[in-house]
Structure 1
């Protein structure tokens, strides 16, 4: 049976408590680059379940971090 990276990440975090998920995310931020695909999968899940307003806020936040010279 072949499993892709996305499925492996989802299986690894499935069944975790909110506190566990918070700790996983917190410990991944600024960590090794190998955790970035996992954060990407989690972000994808959040994005898919977000309202249009929440998506706009996420994109605006990313834009501000990527373009700090444009923030007034």
Structure 2
């Protein structure tokens, strides 16, 4: 079986507007199911690949802050 998660995610979101994209992300996070993690990874990959270096640094800082907050 040839399963291409990226293609499936792209197909599912290709016609979504910003509200729908946000709802997809929020739903996946709030749902908390492990099966949603690959999809979130694909969405993050899209964001990362279309961000400039300053945005990437902002995401890394935000991630670091989130990790520190969760460990506290």
Larger Rg: 1
Shift of 1:47: 0.4
Alignment RMSD (CA, Å): 1.6
More helix by share: 2
Tell me: higher relative CO, structure 1 or 2? Use CA pairs within 8 A at least 6 residues apart: 2
Shift of 1:9: 0.9
Gaps of 5+ in 2: none
Gaps of 5+ in 1: none
Aligned residues: 68
TM-score, with structure 1 as normaliser: 0.83
